[in-house]
Chains A and B, each alone.
Chain A
Amino acid sequence: MIQEKTPINGISRVDTNAPVIEVKEIYKSFGKNEVLKGVTFSVNKGENLVVLGKSGSGKSIAIKCLVGLVEVDKGEINVFGTDITKLDNNELNKIRVRIGFLFQNAALYDSMSVRENLGFTLKRHAKDLSAEEVENQIKDVLESVGLSEAIDKMPSELSGGMRKRIGLARTLILKPEIILYDEPTTGLDTITSREISELILEIQKKNKTSSIIITHDMPCAKHTGDRIIILKEGIIHAEGTYEELEKSDDEWVRSFFI
């Protein structure tokens, strides 16, 4: 049972030890294609949960359900103690500002510079901030991802790794309590992947965020994950720490760790 604390923005905050995300028996189909067939999992406050699975196993759809980008057919998704499947768009938006989402290709706004990408979101949610305060926050968050020099660049001028970092900076600027990472290291070289993994850990420690990290990159999973779940054909097939799953009796589970 989640214990509620003082409400902020009309949405109750949860006790520090309680799960910040609780997904109960969610189902999602696209036509005849059943993607999620009763997925259940939870994420505790300050925990990094890694989701593994083959391509098409429903990992990305599962996290898109958590922010209401995809509507579930059945099931319950409790975020900060509120079932988001029952919320209207305005109520959902109050939850969304507390969740950061790093997309696979960073999804930076092509027509805006790095400064505008970061300021666009911030200005809309912190209307009382002065132009100087907005600029300072943009600089601070860029410094935290190590890309202060990229402030005036356009997304087309950035490398894959830089795009991911700027995407992460855009996510961090609203100071989210939960961050959802959709394949944060895909398409990056080993060194940059390691740097991104370290950045994820640094954010977890510094901001005490809870995260869900979808990845195919096993070093990233080992480095960042406190706990791992493995999705197979729309259901959770295995759950445990990296070390536990690596020694699993199930050959299919072990095949991820080879």
Chain B
Amino acid sequence: MNNIVTTKKENITIYLKETFNDVGKVTMFAARFFKEVVKPPYEMKEFIKQCYVIGYKSLPLVTITGFIMGLVLTLQSRPTLAKFGAESWLPSMVALSLIREIAPVITALICAGKVSSGIGAELGSMKVTEQIDAMEVSAINPFKYLVVTRILATTFMIPLLVIYADGVGVLGGYVGINIHSEVGLYRYLAQVLESIAFLDIFPATIKTFFFGFFIGMIGCYKGFNAANGTESVGKAANSAVVTASLTIFIIDMLAVQITDLFF
């Protein structure tokens, strides 16, 4: 009995040590990003390429999910609002829910799945096949070329994708409302714009920069530190999605608390 308790304690100690070790390494990785990002030369060409890959190439996925989010939210909320005779509030409710919470979180989660895992797998495979070492021995800074450009691209592209998803989601809401009743587009949009205040958009947009930063950073960290062997490429991609998704929820929770305090 005592042996079992001792083994469990040892396991917990090892787990805690590994967790703190990982947190330390991620912090060092982030610190290196901030150090390298300000130092020339700037890899503008690669940054623009990554913006295209991360932003433009995610548009079809974000369009479909954004539209469905708006449509489903409208269809699901309608019966409840109708019970209270508040059906006319539907456009405002859909817009506020989308802009404040649903579009940022769902878009970030989708990007965690598509972008973070993609970066993790790409850098992981580069690490395993010694392409990162090849850059290093050619006196090219692989951190600057591969990591800094990707983190910057996700930090700037995720907020843009979220704003785009907000718009597409609102259009989805319009289609949802028009399934059961007839509302003109101008009237619908006027009601949506009337209900949205600056303080709805501002905190929601700020948190998406953090979502973007962590999606890029976790993908890069997992890929850049992949162990040798092809198995580790899959592990890096998988671990990037799980960690990035969890981080998005934690940031969202903190963002809500901070917004409540200050706004």
- Name A residues whose Cβ lies closer than 8 Å to a Cβ of B: 64, 67, 69, 93-94, 96-97, 99, 101, 103-105, 107-110, 120-121, 124-125, 170, 174
**How far apart are A227's CB and chain B's nearest CB, in angstroms?**
24
Binds A, one of B3-11, B15-23, B127-135, B206-214: B127-135
Partner of B133, one of A99, A107, A120, A121: A107
CA distance A110 to B202 in the complex (A): 41
Q: Is the CB of A103 within 8 A of B138?
A: no
Instruction: Using A108-B131, A110-B131 as known contacts, say yes or no to A97 and B139 having CB atoms under 8 A apart.
Output: yes
Some 17 contacts from A to B, beta carbons below 8 A apart, are A67-B137, A69-B133, A93-B139, A94-B139, A96-B138, A97-B139, A99-B137, A101-B134, A101-B137, A105-B129, A108-B134, A109-B126, A109-B131, A124-B138, A124-B139, A124-B140, A125-B138
B138 and A174 form a contact (CB under 8 A): yes
Residues on the B chain within 8 Å of A120, using CB:
140
CA distance A125 to B131 in the complex (A): 18
- 9 closest A-B pairs (Cβ-Cβ)? A93-B139, A107-B134, A107-B130, A96-B139, A101-B137, A121-B138, A103-B130, A67-B137, A97-B139
Q: How far is the CA of A187 from the CA of B139 in the complex (A)?
A: 28
**Which residues from A are CB-within-8-Å of B134?**
101, 103, 107-109, 170
A97 to B140, CA, bound (A): 9
How far is B134's CA from A121's CA once the two chains are assembled, in angstroms? 10
Interfacial residues of chain B within 112-137, with CB under 8 A of chain A in the complex? 125-126, 129-131, 133-134, 136-137
Please give the distance in Å from B145's CB to the nearest CB on chain A: 9
Quick one: closest B residue to A93, CB to CB?
A: B139
A93, A99, A103, A107: residue with the most chain B Cβ atoms closer than 10 Å: A107
Cβ–Cβ contact A104 & B139, under 8 A: no
Given A110-B125, A110-B126, are A69 and B131 also a contact pair (CB < 8 Å)?
Answer: no
Decide if B131 touches A107 in the complex (CB within 8 Å): yes
Among B125, B129, B134, B137, the most chain A Cβ lie within 10 Å of the Cβ of: B137
CA distance A123 to B252 in the complex (A): 43
**Majority SS at the chain B contact face:** helix
Q: Which residues of A contact B138 (CB under 8 A)?
A: 96-97, 121, 124-125, 174
A58 → B minimal CB distance (Å):
16
Residues of B within 8 A of A170 (CB): 134
Bound CA span A206–B126, Å: 32
Q: Is B137 within 8 A of A104, CB to CB?
A: no
Tell me how far the C-beta of A42 lies from the nearest C-beta in chain B, rounded to whole angstroms.
21
Q: How far does the alpha carbon of A64 sit from the alpha carbon of B133 in the complex, in Å? A: 9
Measured between C-beta atoms, what is the minimum distance from B32 to chain A in Å?
12
Instruction: Give the complex CA separation of A105 and B136 in angstroms.
Output: 16
Residues of A within 8 A of B139 (CB): 93-94, 96-97, 124-125
A55 to B82, CA, bound (A): 74
A125 and B126 CA atoms in complex are apart in Å by 22
How far does the alpha carbon of A107 sit from the alpha carbon of B131 in the complex, in Å?
5
B136 x A69 contact (CB < 8 A): yes
Q: How far is the CB of A124 from chain B (nearest CB, A)?
A: 6
- Whether the Cβ atoms of A69 and B125 lie closer than 8 Å is no
- Cβ–Cβ < 8 Å partners of B131 in chain A: 107-110
Considering the complex, give the chain B residue whose CB is closest to the CB of A101. Answer: B137
Output the residue of A67, A110, A124 with the most chain B CB within 10 A.
A124
List A contacts of B129 (CB < 8 A).
105, 107, 110
Whether B137 lies near A69 (C-beta < 8 A) is yes
Q: From A111, which residue of chain B is reached at the shortest CB distance?
A: B122
Knowing A110-B125, A110-B126 are in contact, say whether A103-B140 is a contact too (CB < 8 A): no
- A100's closest neighbor in chain B, by CB? B137
For the complex, give the distance between the alpha carbons of A81 and B126 in Å: 33
Asked if A104 meets B130 with Cβ closer than 8 Å, knowing A93-B139, A96-B138, A97-B139, the reply is yes
Give the shortest distance, in Å, between B52 (CB) and chain A (any CB).
13
CA of A82 to CA of B140, assembled, Å: 20
CB closest chain-B residue, reference A117: B134
A69 neighbours in B (Cβ, 8 Å) = 133, 136-137
Identify the interface centre among B126, B131, B133, B138: most chain A CB within 10 Å of its CB.
B138
Instruction: State the CA gap A93–B131 with chains docked (Å).
Output: 17
* Distance, CA A107 to CA B136, complexed state (A): 12
* Contact partners of A124 in chain B: CB under 8 A: 138-140
CA separation between A139 and B144, bound complex, in Å?
28
**Which residues does chain B contribute within 8 Å of A121, judged by CB atoms?**
138, 140
| Bound-complex Cα distance A109 to B139 (A) | 15
Q: How far is the CA of A67 from the CA of B137 in the complex (A)?
A: 6
Report the bound CA distance from A96 to B138 in whole Å. 6
Q: Which residues of B contact A109 (CB under 8 A)?
A: 126, 131, 134
Instruction: Note all chain A residues with C-beta closer than 8 A to B137.
Output: 67, 69, 96, 99, 101
